[in-house]
Amino acid sequence: MGLFSKPKHPYWVQHSHLFKDDEYSCSKCGCKVDWPKPVCPGCGSKMGASQDDANWVDEAEIMDILFGEDD
Ligand SMILES: [Zn+2]
């Protein structure tokens, strides 16, 4: 599988604003929401934490192991 053996899960990209509340956009479809929802309303993806650091993927996978996929 090489370089892309680990699939990238969609996540919320946080957008900070000076004069209004933060927004979050889906890394997959770009849908914007006011707060990080568990599922993207745009593409229906199950979302991870609102981080853009790659390390969160490992944490999310640990969560999956602990709690399982129930969808
Ligand atoms: Zn989406």
pLDDT tens for each residue of 19-70? 888 999 999 999 999 999 999 999 999 987 555 555 555 555 656 767 776 6
Residue 43 tokens, joined: 């593409």
How many domains are there within the chain? 1
Q: 23 CA distance to ligand 1 centroid (A)?
A: 14
Instruction: Indicate the pLDDT class of residue 4, thresholds 50, 70 and 90.
Output: low
In a domain, residue 54? The reply is yes
In a domain, residue 4? The reply is no
* Predicted model pTM: 0.55
Residue 31 near residue 43 (C-beta atoms within 8 A): yes
Q: 24 CA distance to ligand 1 centroid (A)?
A: 11
In a domain, residue 27? The reply is yes
Residue 47 near residue 31 (C-beta atoms within 8 A): no
Q: 39 CA distance to ligand 1 centroid (A)?
A: 8
Q: 66 CA distance to ligand 1 centroid (A)?
A: 25
In a domain, residue 2? The reply is no
Q: Where in the sequence is the domain holding 28, given as residue range(s)?
A: 9-67
In a domain, residue 3? The reply is no
d(CA 47, CA 37): 7
61 phi/psi in degrees, rounded to 5: -70, -35
